[in-house]
Structure 1
Amino acid sequence: MKTWFHSWRAAVRIARRDAWRAKGRSSLVLAMIALPILGVSAADLTIRSSELSVSERMERGIGAADASFHDPGLGGVPVFQTPAGDNVYPAKDEENAPWPSGPGDPTKVIPAGSRWISDTQGAAKLTTVHGLLQTDVRELKADDPIARGITTLLDGHYPRKADEVIATSAFLEQSGLSLGSTVSARNFDRPYRIVGSYELPDSLDAAQITALPGAFLAPYGKAAEKAGALAPGSSTSYLVQHAGGFTWNDVKEINTKGISVVSRAVQLNPPADSEVPLYQRPDWRSFESSSGADAMVLASLATVVGLAMLEICLLAGPAFAVGARRSRRQLGLVGANGGSRSHIRAIVLSGGLVIGVAAAVVGTVLALALTLALRPFLEDFIGQRFGAFDIRPLELLGIALLAVLTGLLAAIVPAVTASRQTVLASLTGRRGVRSTSKVLPVLGLVALLIGAAIALYGSVVTDQFAIVAGGSALAELGVVAMTPALVGLFGRVGRWLPLSPRLALRDAVRNRGRTAPAVAAVLAAVAGTVAVATHTASTDAQYRAEYTASLPHGAVSFFQMEEGGRDVPAVADAVQRYFSVETRADVSRVSVGKPGCPPWGGGDGCGQYEVMTPPANLCPMWVPTTDGSDPSEKFTPEQRRTMIREDWRCAQTSGGGGLYVDGGLLVGDARLLKVLGIEDAAASRALADGKAVVFSKPLVAADGSIGIKQVTDMKAAEKASAENKPSPGRISRVPAHLVTGDPKTYGLQVLMSPETARAAGLRTVPVGAYFSTDALPGSEQRQKLDAELATLGAGIDLTVEEGYVSDDSIFLLALTVFAGLVTIGAAGIATGLAQADAEADLKTLAAVGAPPRVRRTLSGFQCGVVAAMGVVLGSVSGLLPAVGLRLTEERQQIRYHEQTIAEGWGGDLTPPYVPIVVPWETLAALLVAVPLGAALLAALVTRSKGAVARREAT
């Protein structure tokens, strides 16, 4: 008894034999389906292998310890923490109470009988072959069993003495040092010998050295600060081993003593949210992704997968159609011997099934092999070592089933078409009279109109990107459905073309079954590219308009805030030596306290200064209150909006932005005005007359002077700030000249000469210099300067104003190249199928005496025609989603701007600029270069001579 199983088994055998005979066509379709499967499977293997398990994360974080104890720096008060230990807050959070601070001592809460080691981390500027390198420094007994897994020794041995260190391979590469080299920190005479190299499995790019505990750093940086090796900021944690580990109850008990804990047992078995005290606080907000966000990600992923499958089906479908036509005699014999239409459909569908299964197997096997072979390169690329090579069979099986499904979908239409042919037409090779569907274009036009309306509604009425994207996708599918009819319209152009392009165009119109899918595939690729390119170009134009320059174009500046600016003269000379400098303006800053104090007043004996705003010039919304409340809350939104628009005390000037200038005050001469492009003769005369040049009107008092307060007692200042009182200090009055007109000052608010500063009792130290240049420095000049700065070892903040530099030019080029490759590939596939399908026509041309070059030019024009039609339709289709998204963004930004102004919170009063820019260069490359390139490539790879064959016997 014959069943459906026997029929399908026979159909699969026939399809497998037919695929083996037509190796070229089968390989082409297999590659189209297998390549996406290869990419997705390799990505799945890479992502899953790079996702560490809890045990692997704990091993890389705390080694073999049961827990890591940390001091959160909250003065030892009881704390609440998350189970992961990444968020720690005081258990008692009283409103308006100062935030607790101060060190705690984790060693006092480590249970008796435990074994522990310390892990101290900080940073230092270390000497290298090239100069100095900012490097992470760690103190850890890395060869202790507790620390097993934190580091991986690559060469040499772990430190055994206090003057030995090991270094990561990234540090050795960046520093130019090697095993056996010596290294030291700036201002720290003690050298260390590098005895080994290692890597951090979680951070392969980290530049770090590790020494024994107490050899380089000290807890809280006290000894290091005394030695002058490091800036404060090192921190210590304690890796603890304890019998039985630390449960969540143990962690909460330790939290009551002001210490946070990262426990292995808690990570492996986290408590319920109801058992976490921090989660019960009313002000706690969880930042985990919502189900809506997860749904959006899944929807986006499904859309990408669906479009990829559509693209493959559009390209592979014509190949199955041509295969069915090439096998029409075989299919006719099946019908002549009693086979039904279902048997013929099964044979053609089996072709898709066979190639789909083969593509799934090939893609999955290649993904496994390539991921294993490229594992070291992938680890270096993502910057961390994999955990176990994680193979998820169900996920790979699901990806493989996509290949099978794609093959079946691509073969559906050819199967139905082949089953509708009569036995006589199949045996004689006659195609009969074929007509295109009149319903499909109508449905496509309806989908286009509805999709455009939805996209327009989403961009003009609502602010939902999803609505715009959904409407644009529906409109694009409508254009795809209209493609056969649009191809027919293109055929009307053929009457004005020469012979070869006219034949190519008429062939494309006559064989819409293979032309329309290829054109639709090109359309989809080009539409996506044009949409992204248009949105990117428009966003880039907006960023260019919003760009705030740090300096005038071509100007250079540098600052050294620390160490009393001791390297400023040498750096300024180096800049002037390597760059084409027109004007140099050296500047200083006001320093309060002992020499070498930083401007922020850190350390003993160091203070701060501020340029005071007279009480009468303070904006009413910003006047401090005695109870610490927000002063703006006593005004209505209308009052706030009125003050921002009309009160000069509350208005923001365009002179802001640019570089950060400490306190807005610099000490220099008129050359700084020249570098900044401020042409004001009165300002230059005011500097010479001993006045401070002021660019901010609220700073100038009624008597025409400015006040500069020097605060030396920082503890008293902190106390006054906590009590919302003015900080105590000595105030110096300096006569001022106010520059009107709101010039662009690039962060500068006050400029005074050195003589004026001395007369006011202000001590100054060098801080940097400004330069105007003849031309922007090139790469070679920058490299020479960087090399000299490295030898100086100065902590320099160098700025070269190059103007707005777009980061999207390479991206747009990559998009254009991608669309070009897809277009040429789709057009090439259509051309190859056309040649296979129209071989009889080409032989007829040769038989009637057509020159040999006709074959080559016809092939080129066939490819170019498909590419040109797809590019034209895709360019038009791609503009709709881009314009819709930009209109939506404009509505959102304008609404936010109006809301900000209405509520009176300040900001720029100018409405946001949200342009729509068409990337004409990208469109020109797609419309001209891509079809021309596709045509030339097809013409070059096509043989100009073909054999003349006799007519087949029927």
Structure 2
Amino acid sequence: MNNWFHSWRAAVRIARRDAWRYKGRSFLVLSMIALPILGVSAADLTLRSSELSTEERLARSIGAADARISDSGYGGAPIHQHPVQEDSMPVGDFENKPWPSGTTDLTKAFPPNSTVLEDSQGFGKLRTEHGLLQTDIRELQAAHPMARGIMTLQDGRFPEKADEVAATTHFLESSGLRIGSTLTARGLDREYRIVGSYELPDSLKTDQVNALPGAFLEPLGKALEAEGLADAKESTTYLLKLPRSAAGADGFTWNMVKEANAKGVMVMSRAVVLNPPADSDVPLFQMEGWGNYGDSTAAKAAALAAAGTVVGLAMLEICLLAGPAFAVGARRSRRQLGLVGANGGDRRHIRAIVLAGGLVIGIAAAVVGTVLGLILTFLLQPVLEDYMGQRFGAFDVRPLELLGIGLLAVLTGLLAAVVPAVTASRQTVLASLTGRRGVRRSSRVLPVLGLVAVVLGAAIALYGSVFSDQFIIVAGGSAIAELGVVAITPALVGLFGRTGRWLPLSPRLALRDAVRNRGRTAPAVAAVLAAVAGTVAVATYQASSDAQQRAAYEARLPYGAVSVLVREGGGRDVPAVRDAVQKNVPVEVRADVDRIAVGRAGCEMYGQGEGCGRHEVVIPKANECPMWASSLDGSDPAEKFTKAERRKLAEDWRCKEAPEMAYTESGLVVADATLLKVLGIKDPAAERALAAGRIVSFSRSLIDAEGKVGIKLITDSAKAEQAMAQGKEAPGQVTSFDAYQLARGTESYGLAGIVPPAAAKAAGLTTVPFGAYFSTDRLPSTEQRQRLDDELAKTGAGVELHVEEGFVSQNSIVLLALTVFAGLITIGAAGIATGLAQADAEADLKTLAAVGAPPRVRRTLSGFQCGVVAVMGVLLGSAAGVLPAIGLRLTERRQQTAWYQEALDQGGGGSIGLPHVPIVVPWETLAALLVAVPLGAALLAALVTRSRGAMARRAAT
């Protein structure tokens, strides 16, 4: 034991002195290991800091109050609620009864002598420097001690008078206003002065103003009601502070919460959230379908497995990247290692010295990476908070986790030094002292083992993607296959060498040098292989996912077309909105559209407001999907069919061709044949049908056997909802129109049909302006869009503007960033690995200078040496990187197919169709890697190589 300790102590001292002596090489290896540790530690610190503690979450939700009282929305019916989350269910069986709804009196749940703070929220259009901005309005006495933590004051103060408001910093930035400015709202004559700015810690990008209770929403609501618009107030809750004598040490207890639940009131209690009751004491958890699935053992095991897979693959790549550096370091120190052997040291001591080098570098990398991670996270935290739109909690440092990450660096350094240690220990003392490497036959066992690993790993990955739901199996198989490719790399390098006979002098010399010195070439190729494999795996998966999203994309309009719709105000603002678009967009064709209105003037869609109704299209009974038909008893019609019958019905056209109803209650708009031109529908028969007063239908399910479409006018929405809740049809008058059906497959762009204006007028239907569709000769520019937004804001209308830009990949920016970042890492890995190999081959370069080779030959040979390694690494890495991406896509395809089959069994899925999960190989990315990486690495090596090297004396023998 004592001898072992002293031998390792000496090995560590030698390794430390060697690392300090060769600072450049040591810094290189340290950087390779420290950079990933920096990233992991920074990610850990960011994740932990962004996770709010229970106390921090409560402070942002209920401030310093004991509880928040809110309406459950079930009309005072008793409820069961979740103790922590805002989930609740009414008590009782409502299978054959109307679902309870409505408001309740919250004051009946206030404990006696409690301090109450009202918190109301709504919205309104506030006037800014640029026009109007839809803004959240919150009435809360924010300066009250009970509200401390909900809002964070940035500048000025919170309002103290009825004509004062505070605003979020994001609102001030968006509106162009500042503290001291005057603020007004559309429809309201009162003015408010901005006296302060604040931020919402959980929502930094929210446009909100704060006023005293009753100072803003009530007068705004009266003004909007006078104009026939909806009320501005959305909800009111109350913050409660119990008397200390009543609260005692328990606060608002779970029993008090259940008493409030019996009155139809929800309570978020500080005491309950901090100390939740047992699941057996929560009535909601006893109801069917409820459970804590997120905290299950299976979920935790899956998360740990995913984390373990990522860490394992990261360690593998780091080892492959750092391995060449240790191999070159061991060869550069072979004379020193030979002296150790000449003085009685055996192979065990040689291995200990090289491994100690990995230990020393690993410890240094752990310290440097962790410290830099702490500094980087602290400096970038404000930037990350602004990017994520919420403030983090306290700067949370977990020493044990950082220690574990540091130990990962130490372990990585040791693993990276294992192969160089074994190789160095096998050299004879004479070869080490003279610098002669001798001639060794290539191992015949290693390529065989590597080939077996490739086949076995591919089989495991294939099994995981076809027969298992665990991606860890795919990842494990891919890692085994990648290790197998690494193992056969020396043999593959020899195969590459046979192509040298067709190459010019410099690349032929570089290739033969690489083959002759496979011991240094193979690790360098493996390092590039590891970096390229990760790049290709990410690029392949992202390209496949992008292709899937492209296939699933549903355009709302033809490419370049513009639509503008106004659902409120009875269409009074529509003419101004149409003219604003016509003025600021390069319009070719404009098609004005109206909608059918039921009730008094100024009604919004869907029957909102007193005296307002709605309309719906009548689907003939013969055209209804049997699994979607309404039942009087409220039961699910699909339950009446067997699985086989459901699957058969899923192929029925009635269940596959559901009519679109995206823009109005019925999906119908009132327009002429100009709309067909904007939508790109070239059907002369449809144009003639509209001219003749016939409805043009996009779906055959709307047309009955007589070729007509029925439109039902529902004058009383409340009675209609009551009838539907009882399983009855909504009462209303039905008007029938002759119809023309467009050809199957015609893109509807969310419309169910087009009603000609003449037919609507003849039938006595009331129509109001709804908006317009525009075709353009080119997409509006950014400047045009900004001017249009400003014009629309001046109208004060709630405008829905859409410019169809076609499919915009959600992953394109991510894919580009990953490709560029991974490409830079790949080029860096190639340059570092081949630079180390070049340092190892410096003797050959000096020999070229000694025999009179021109100066450019030295640069050319260095460049080609780097390029050869990069080419081999890119080719092998591309093949290795495609495997895990294909395995993951196959796993996703099987899962989505299983979900589709399950949906068919339940009566759905017919209108969705078989999931499309393609596998796309990004050939452009592979070509770019194959060209850019070797070329970049070769040029970099050529530029940093001196054309004239110093002559070296021959080593004494």
Native 8 Å contact 1:638 1:903 kept in 2: no
Q: Distance in 2 between matches of 1:35 and 1:864?
A: 25
Per the alignment, residue 413 of structure 2 pairs with 407
1:236-261, Cα deviation, whole Å (9 max, x unpaired): 11111112221212212222222111
Residues 630 and 861 of structure 1: is their aligned pair in 2 closer, same or farther, counting only changes over 3 Å? same
Shift in Å at residue 381 of structure 1? 2.7
Report the counterpart of residue 667 of structure 1 in structure 2: 670
User: Of 789, 795, 799, which aligns to 1:796?
Assistant: 799
Distance in 2 (CA, whole Å) between partners of 1:401 and 1:324 is 23
CA drift of 1:827 comes to 1.9
**Deviation sequence 1:644-671 (CA, Å, 0-9, x none):** 545x555517xx5595343122112111
Residue ranges of structure 1 left out of the alignment (5+ in a row): none
- Aligned partner letter, 2:720: A
Match of 2:119?
A: 119
* Structure 2: distance between partners of 1:523 and 1:473: 12
2:747 corresponds to which residue? 744
Q: Partner of 1:83: helix, strand, or coil? A: coil
Moved more, 290-299 or 553-562: 290-299
Q: Is residue 2:770 matched to residue 1:767?
A: yes
SS at match of 2:366: helix
C-alpha displacement of 1:307 = 1.9
Q: Does 1:108 align with 2:108?
A: yes
Matches within 5 A, 1:277-676: 277-460=283-466, 465-643=471-649, 645=651, 649-652=654-657, 660-676=663-679
- What does residue 146 of structure 1 align with? 146
Q: Is the 8 A contact 2:595 2:664 kept in 1?
A: no
- Local SS of the residue matching 1:270: coil
Seen in structure 2, the aligned counterparts of structure 1 residues 443 and 120 have a Cα distance that, compared at 3 Å, is same
- Pair 1:92 & 2:92 matched: yes
Query: For residues 556 and 880 of structure 1, what CA distance do their matches in structure 2 show?
Result: 43
Q: CA deviation at 1:376?
A: 2.2
CA displacement 1:260-288 (0-9 Å, x = unmatched): 11111112211111111111123324342
Distance 2:641 2:378 in 1: 66
Change (3 A) 1:782 1:733: same
Deviation at 1:354, TM superposition (A): 1.4
Return closer, same or farther for 1:6/1:630 CA change in 2, 3 Å cut-off: closer
Q: 2:759 aligns with which of 749, 756, 760?
A: 756
The within-5 A match list for 1:237-316 is 237-242=237-242, 243=244, 244=247, 245-316=251-322
Contact preservation (8 Å) 2:229, 2:569: no
Shift of 1:860: 0.7
Note if 1:839 corresponds to 2:842.
yes
| Cα deviation digits, residues 57-88 of structure 1 (max 9, x gap) | 21221111111111112222221111114111
Deviations 1:416-455 (A, max 9, x none): 2222323222222222233332222111101111222233
Deviation digits for residues 725-757 of structure 1 (CA, Å, limit 9, x no counterpart) = 222222323333444555333233332232321
**Separation in 1, partners of 2:157, 2:901:** 64
1:589 is matched by which residue type in structure 2?
R
Q: Is the 8 A contact 1:39 1:367 kept in 2?
A: yes
Tell me if structure 2 keeps the 8 A contact 1:220–1:235: no
Whole-angstrom CA distance in 2 between matches of 1:331 and 1:555: 75
| Aligned residue number for residue 928 of structure 2 | 925
CA contact (8 A) 2:96 2:633 kept: no
Alpha-carbon distance between aligned partners in 2 of 1:579 and 1:338, rounded to the nearest angstrom: 87
Please name the residue that 1:75 is paired with: 75
Tell whether 2:217 aligns with 1:217: yes
Aligned-residue offset at 1:764: 0.6
SS of the residue aligned with 1:142? Answer: coil
**What RMSD over aligned residues (CA atoms) do the two structures have, in Å?**
2.5
Cα distance, 1:292 vs structure 2: 2.3
Q: Which residue of 2 aligns with 1:15?
A: 15
User: 1:195 and 2:204 equivalent?
Assistant: no
Query: 2:117 aligns to what SS in structure 1?
Result: strand
2:905 and 2:385 map into 1 onto residues whose CA distance is: 51
Q: How many residues align?
A: 951
Pairwise CA distance, 1:939 = 0.7
Judge which range, 418-427 or 153-162, deviates more.
Answer: 418-427
Q: Secondary structure at the match of 1:160?
A: coil
Match of 2:166 in 1: 166
CA gap 1:658/1:254 in 2 versus in 1, 3 angstroms: closer
1:33 corresponds in structure 2 to 33
Between 354-363 and 879-888, the greater mean CA deviation after superposition:
879-888
The SS at the match of 2:605 is coil
| Residues 687-731 of structure 1: per-residue CA shift (max 9 Å, x gap) | 333333334334334444333221112232122212222222223
Match of 1:854 in 2: 857
- Contact persistence 1:458–1:467 (CA under 8 A): yes
Q: Structure 1 residues 283 and 818 mapped into 2: Cα distance closer, same or farther (>3 Å)?
A: closer
Deviation (angstroms), 1:164: 0.3
Deviations 1:390-426 (A, max 9, x none): 2111111111111111112222222222223232222
Indicate the larger mover: 182-191 or 219-228: 219-228
- Change in Cα spacing, 1:839 to 1:733, as seen in structure 2 (3 Å) is closer
**CA 1:853 to 1:695, structure 2 compared with 1: closer, same or farther past 3 Å?**
closer
What is the rounded CA distance, in whole Å, between the counterparts of 1:755 and 1:462 in structure 2?
A: 61
The alpha-carbon distance between structure 1 residues 676 and 371, as it changes in their structure 2 partners (threshold 3 A), is: closer
Matches of 2:216 and 2:99 in 1, distance apart? 31
Determine the C-alpha separation between the residues in 1 that align with 2:394 and 2:307.
Answer: 26
Q: Secondary structure at the match of 2:455?
A: helix
Unaligned 5+ segments in structure 2 are: none
Could you tell which deviates more after superposition, 697-706 or 124-133? 697-706
When residues 230 and 587 of structure 1 are mapped into structure 2, their CA distance, relative to the original with a 3 A threshold, is closer
**Kindly tell me: are residues 642 and 158 of structure 1, through their superposed partners in 2, closer, same or farther at Cα, counting changes over 3 Å?**
closer
1:715 aligns to what? 718
Is the contact between residue 164 and residue 194 of structure 1 (CA under 8 Å) also seen in structure 2?
yes
Closer, same or farther in 2 for the Cα pair 1:416/1:859, shift >3 Å?
Answer: same
Which piece of structure 1 moves more, 908-917 or 473-482? Answer: 908-917
1:892 Cα deviation after fit: 4.4
CA contact 1:188–1:227 (8 Å) conserved in 2: no
Cα displacement (A) at 1:10:
2.3
User: Is 2:809 the counterpart of 1:777?
Assistant: no
Which residue of 2 is the match for residue 57 of structure 1? 57
Find the counterpart in structure 1 of residue 883 from structure 2. Answer: 880
The 1:418–1:878 alpha-carbon spacing in structure 2 relative to 1, beyond 3 Å, is closer
Is the 1:551–1:659 Cα contact (8 Å) retained in structure 2?
Answer: no
Residues 744, 520 of structure 1: alpha-carbon distance in 2 compared, 3 angstrom cutoff? same
- Name the TM-score, length of structure 1 as normaliser: 0.95
Deviations along 1:297-320, one digit per CA (max 9) or x if unpaired, are: 222222222222222222222222
Alignment deviations for residues 70-115 of structure 1 (CA, whole Å, 9 cap, x no partner): 1112222221111114111112243222221222222222111211
Q: Secondary structure at 2:769's aligned position in 1?
A: strand
In structure 2, distance between residues paired with 1:425 and 1:806:
59
Q: For 1:200 and 1:160, how far apart are their aligned partners in 2?
A: 19
- Report the CA distance shift for 1:252/1:345 in structure 2 as closer, same or farther (over 3 A): same
| Percent sequence identity over aligned pairs | 69
Check conservation: 1:548, 1:657, Cα contact below 8 A.
Answer: no
